[in-house]
């Protein structure tokens, strides 16, 4: 019950606040109809998958900046191959997942063998992957608009099913499986994990491959919503990576209370997308939306990083309060004793 409460408290609170503001200032509901619901689920799944992908590596001390580029590569190559072979939306999704997984796997192999810091390697791989995505298919990227059989990617039940499957799969992998157990051990202390016989290389490769697959899913749903995915250059794909650090980080924080970081990330993704939807209903311009979202992130990080200090100060205040009360009681007792003494003395 407590876990359910922690799961729902943030999304529900965000929804309540945005609903109030939306009704007061715009006269409409945040989620007014099925189209709104569909839009929310689509963007939510996209955000959730990307944040989950980041969660595969970032907590392990590997901030992989090539995640965004892996998404572009996976979707553009995998999606176009699937369309050429005449597969529909499901084929596009599977094709993108396979290519994304391969892209992530390659980054993992290079990382393990060259032992270059993940962030630095990510820069180089971003340059390469963006170039490949850009040069393929005459710079057209992936266009899903008007293609036969891709309508399923906009079907709300399909989106919900995919999200549910990812939650179940990732919960099993990261929380219940031996792989997840070993991953937590490596996260605690890599050297001890190695000494205890854990193969950190295989674990690392699987993390990278999973991350690549997840960002591909994110990219496919995003493309299904926007109709097209145009390739980028100049490390612009890093923007996706940085943007999705917010739900990942908040999700990890919520995950501590919920007991499951995957659910935590899902809850934070819902909250963020309700916030964005609410701000869109209020008609706020892009710059203001960005300032609000990232200011909230900043305040959250300030709170999160200083939680212990705040807890310490709170306990200190409580101790002080107890001490003062104790002193008052002692004083009263002393006064009483003195009074008795005077009375009996006379």
Partner 1 sequence: MKFKKNLVVLLACITMFFLSACKGSASTSTIASTTTPESSATTAPLATDKAPAETPQDFKTFKIGVVEKQATDETVVRREFYENFIAPNYNVQFIFSEVITDVEGEVNFIENCADAGVDAIICMRGGTDAYQLSQIAADYGMLYLYQGRREAAADLFVADYDNFIGAFGASLPLMTKAYSDYLAENASDDGSEGFIILSSDASKGNLVQTDLTVSILQVLQDKYGLTYEKDLKTLAISDAPTIVKNNKDIAIYIYPGQVKQDGWLEGVSSALQSGRYGYLISTLQSYTQTSVVVDEVERTFDKNITVMSMGTMGDALTTAMNTMDKFGNPSVDFVALELTSIKSAGNFAMVYNALTGHKDNMRGSDGLMSAFDYNRIFLTSPEQLSVMEDWDMNGKWAVSREYVDGMLGIYHSEITADDIQEHLNTVTSYEYIYNYLEG
Partner 2 sequence: MPEKTEGRSVPALRLNERYEIIRANRFVNALFPLVMFLLIIVIFAPLTGGQFLSRNAIISILNQALIVGTVATGVAFIYTTGNLDISVGPIMAFAAIIGATVYNNTLSVPLMVASCIVVAVLLMLFNCTLSAIFNIKTITAAIVMTRIYGAINSKILGASTLRVDYTICRELDNGGFRYAAFFAFFIISFLVYHKTKIGRADRIIGGNRSNAVQTGLSPNRFLYASFLMAGIGVGLAAVFTITRSGTINQDTGTGMGTDVMLATVLGGMSIFGGAKSNSYSGIIGALTVTALNKGLLMVGVSTTVIQGIRGVIFILLVFLNSNSGREKILPSRQQF
Instruction: Give the residues lining the site for partner 2 (CB under 8 A).
Output: 58-63, 65, 110-112, 114-121, 123-128, 130-132, 134-135, 139, 190-191, 194, 200-201, 204, 233-236, 238, 242-243, 245, 249, 252, 286-288, 290-291, 293-295, 297-298, 301-302, 305-306, 309
Residue 64 CB, nearest approach to partner 1 (Å): 19
| Residue from 39, 96, 126, 218 in contact with partner 1 (CB under 8 A) | 39
User: Tokens at residue 103, please?
Assistant: 């892209």
Among partner 2, partner 1, none, residue 111 binds (CB under 5-8 Å by kind): partner 2
Does position 43 interact with partner 1 (CB under 8 A)? The reply is yes
Whole-angstrom distance, CA of residue 255 vs CA of residue 268: 10
Closest CB 260 distance from partner 1, rounded Å = 28
- For partner 2, give the closer residue by CB, 308 or 346: 308
Q: Which does 202 bind (CB under 5 to 8 A by kind): partner 2, partner 1, none?
A: none
- Which tokens sit at 147? 């293609």
Asked if residue 138 binds partner 1 (CB under 8 A), the reply is yes
Closest contact distance (angstroms) between CB of 110 and partner 2 is 7
User: Where does residue 322 rank: exposed (0-12), middle (13-18), buried (19+ CB within 10 A)?
Assistant: exposed
Residue 77 contacts residue 277 (beta carbons within 8 Å): no
Contact call for residue 28 and partner 1 (CB under 8 A): yes
Residue 33, contacted partner among partner 2, partner 1, none, CB below 5-8 A by kind: partner 1
CA distance 13 to 79: 38
Q: Which is nearer to partner 1, 136 or 175 (CB)?
A: 136
Taking the C-alpha atoms of residue 259 and residue 57, their distance in angstroms, rounded to an integer, is 19
Among 1, 2, 86, 113, binds partner 1 (CB under 8 A): 113
Rg (CA), the chain: 26
> Which of partner 2, partner 1, none does residue 277 bind (CB under 5 to 8 Å by kind)?
partner 1
**Burial profile 31-64: b = 16 or more Cβ within 10 angstroms, e = fewer:** beeeebeebbbbbbbbbbbbbbbbbbbbbbebeb
Q: Can you give the binding site for partner 1, defined by CB under 8 A? A: 28, 32-36, 38-39, 43, 110, 113-114, 134, 138-140, 143, 145-147, 154, 224-228, 230-231, 233-234, 243, 276-277, 279-281, 283-290
């Amino acid at each position: 019950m407590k876990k359910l409460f922690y799961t729902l408290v943030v999304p529900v609170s965000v929804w309540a606040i945005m609903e109030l503001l939306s009704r007061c200032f715009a006269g409409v509901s945040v989620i007014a109809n099925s189209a709104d619901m569909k839009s929310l689920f689509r963007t939510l799944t996209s955000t959730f998958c990307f944040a989950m992908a980041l969660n595969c590596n970032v907590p392990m001390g590997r901030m992989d900046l090539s995640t965004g580029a892996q998404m572009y590569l996976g979707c553009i190559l995998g999606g176009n191959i699937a369309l050429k072979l005449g597969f529909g939306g499901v084929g596009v999704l599977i094709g993108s997942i396979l290519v994304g997984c391969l892209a992530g796997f390659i980054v993992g192999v290079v990382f393990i063998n060259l032992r270059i810091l993940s962030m630095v390697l990510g820069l180089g791989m971003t340059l390469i992957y963006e170039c490949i995505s850009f040069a393929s298919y005459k710079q057209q990227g992936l266009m899903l608009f008007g293609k036969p059989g891709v309508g399923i990617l906009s079907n709300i039940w399909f989106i919900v099913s995919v999200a549910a499957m990812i939650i179940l799969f990732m919960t099993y992998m990261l929380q219940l499986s031996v792989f997840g157990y070993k991953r937590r051990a490596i996260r605690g202390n890599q050297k001890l994990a190695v000494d205890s016989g854990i193969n950190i290389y295989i674990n690392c490769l699987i993390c990278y491959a999973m991350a690549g697959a997840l960002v591909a899913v994110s990219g496919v749903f995003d493309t299904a919503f926007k109709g097209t995915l145009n390739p980028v250059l100049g490390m612009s794909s890093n923007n996706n990576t940085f943007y999705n650090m917010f739900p990942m980080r908040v999700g990890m924080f919520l995950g501590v209370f919920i007991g499951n970081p995957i659910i935590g990330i899902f809850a934070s993704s819902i909250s963020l997308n309700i916030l964005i939807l609410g701000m869109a209903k209020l008609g706020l311009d892009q710059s203001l939306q960005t300032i609000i979202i990232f200011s909230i992130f900043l305040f959250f990080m300030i709170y999160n990083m200083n939680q212990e200090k705040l807890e310490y100060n709170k306990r200190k205040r409580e101790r002080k309060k107890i001490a003062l009360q104790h002193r008052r009681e002692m004083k009263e007792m002393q006064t009483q004793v003195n009074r008795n003494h005077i009375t009996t003395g006379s």
